């Protein structure tokens, strides 16, 4: 049920939004000859307003949502971002900009702003913080969460950010952003590359996968060649053209010396395309449970895939955004967050003391669920020399 204001009411809202979104998806299919690319399907599922997953006025992160981020586990990641940001600001005179792209609920940025003000008041006093956020719901949450820093904050849409560029003395960071961008899906089948599109199965009354040849000379074919994808029968791959296009736009918006920091889970080429990943990396999350059925219940679940860090590095090299470092989140937390120095002795009889909670957060980020190793931090500098990876 949709109200006059466009907000989907509580209780039956998920079912109503899902029905509406399914109708929108089928209409889009009809307009494109009966099939949608998985990329277009995923875009509607996640970002259609107001029915897409990220555009709904519903909690998504944390215990009451569908997944956790590192910012949900204490303030350690925020402190590490500040450690890097403080070093960045120290090397520059005058005003500087700290920007978060796709900050969601605003929890991480709140930690960053609080810790920067407390630990580096001089740098905080010279800073303007910019939130680049597409979701109106998340913008409202951010404005509420960051009230104590209101005089230092600007909210911009992507077009507004790009129009004000090139941005000098700027550090842009994101946390779990490329993994949430729409992807194409392809499979190597019977000696040919096939695109996995989305169609409608009339007999079953549901969405279904449909294979179609990858066009020669197009963007998908170029990605396959550039990444040297292995030709293993039946292996599936995600093609992150949206993430690569985003990287190009961000690079074009930055002045020389400005930095892009991408925090996300993912792999370099050898691991991402390995033989044990025959089904690719795409997963859905709902109620902290993972599934590999993205065509079910469109709009009700997060859809995500591993970040292709080698592809981001290569694309950055082409557009003047040089990779200075790719490290695990564990290494980033140790170096810039100094987390090992923050482990504290405490009374083991009180597992809920602040010290005990903080120690658990450190252990979880460094060794729990492989978060410290699977998550990576890519630092790219506009006009830098870069790494050879």
Paired with 236 in beta bridges are 187
Q: Please enumerate in sequence order all residues whose Cβ is within 8 A of that of 331, keeping only pairs 6 or more positions apart, or say none.
A: 377
- Read off the pLDDT band of 5 (50, 70, 90): very low
Tell me the average pLDDT across 72-77.
71
Q: pLDDT value at position 1?
A: 39
Average pLDDT over residues 340-352: 54
- pLDDT tens by residue, 308-317: 999 999 999 9
Give 137's pLDDT tier (boundaries 50, 70, 90). confident
Q: Please, what is the angle between helix 107-119 and helix 136-145, to 10°?
A: 30
Distance CA 371, CA 357 (A): 18
CATH code, residues 70-180+243-271+306-382: 3.40.50.12710
Cis before 50? omega within 30: yes
Rounded to the nearest 5 degrees, what angle is found at the Cα of 372, between the Cα atoms of 54 and 374?
65
Least confident of 121-135, 270-284, 301-315, 343-357: 343-357
Taking residues 261-288, report their average pLDDT.
94
Q: Where are the domains of the chain?
A: 70-180+243-271+306-382
8 A C-beta contact, residue 216 and residue 235 = no
pLDDT in tens, 186-230: 999 999 999 999 999 999 999 999 999 999 999 999 999 999 999
Q: What is the pTM of this model?
A: 0.87
Encode pLDDT of 105-129 as tens digits. 899 999 999 999 999 999 999 999 9
pLDDT at 77: 93
Q: What is the mean pLDDT of the chain?
A: 88
């Amino acid at each position: 049920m949709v109200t006059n204001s466009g907000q989907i009411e509580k209780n039956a809202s998920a079912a109503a939004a899902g029905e509406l979104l399914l109708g929108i998806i089928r209409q889009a299919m009809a307009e494109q000859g009966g099939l949608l690319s998985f990329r277009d399907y995923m875009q509607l599922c996640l970002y259609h307003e107001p029915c897409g997953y990220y555009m709904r006025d519903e909690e998504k992160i944390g215990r009451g949502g569908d997944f956790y981020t590192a910012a949900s586990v204490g303030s350690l990641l925020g402190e590490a971002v500040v450690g890097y940001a403080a070093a960045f600001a120290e090397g520059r005179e005058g005003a500087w900009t700290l920007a978060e792209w796709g900050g969601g609920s605003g929890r991480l940025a709140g930690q960053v702003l609080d810790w920067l003000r407390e630990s580096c008041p001089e740098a905080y006093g010279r800073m303007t913080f910019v939130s680049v956020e597409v979701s109106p719901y998340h913008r409202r949450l951010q404005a509420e969460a960051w009230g104590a820093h209101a005089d230092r904050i600007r909210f911009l849409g992507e077009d507004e950010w790009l129009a004000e560029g090139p941005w000098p003395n700027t550090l842009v960071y994101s946390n779990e952003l490329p993994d949430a961008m729409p992807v194409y899906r392809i499979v190597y089948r019977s000696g040919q590359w096939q695109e996995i599109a989305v169609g409608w199965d009339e007999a079953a009354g549901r969405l279904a996968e449909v294979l179609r040849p990858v066009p020669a000379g197009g963007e998908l074919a170029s990605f396959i060649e550039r990444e040297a994808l292995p030709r293993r029968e039946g292996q599936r791959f995600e093609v992150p053209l949206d993430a690569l296009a985003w990287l190009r736009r961000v690079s074009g918006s930055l002045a020389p010396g400005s930095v892009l920091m991408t925090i996300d889970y993912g792999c370099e080429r050898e691991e991402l395309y390995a033989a044990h990943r025959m089904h690719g990396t795409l997963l859905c999350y709902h109620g902290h449970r993972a599934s590999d059925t993205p065509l079910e219940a469109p709009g009700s679940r997060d859809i995500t895939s591993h970040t292709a860090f080698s592809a981001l590095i290569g694309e950055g090299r082409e557009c003047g955004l040089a990779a200075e470092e790719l490290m695990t989140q564990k290494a980033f937390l140790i170096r810039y967050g100094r987390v090992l120095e923050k482990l504290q002795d405490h009374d083991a009889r009180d597992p809920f003391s602040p010290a005990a909670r903080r120690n658990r957060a450190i252990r979880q980020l460094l060794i729990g669920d492989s978060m410290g190793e699977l998550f990576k931090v890519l630092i790219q500098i506009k006009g830098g020399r870069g790494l050879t990876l």
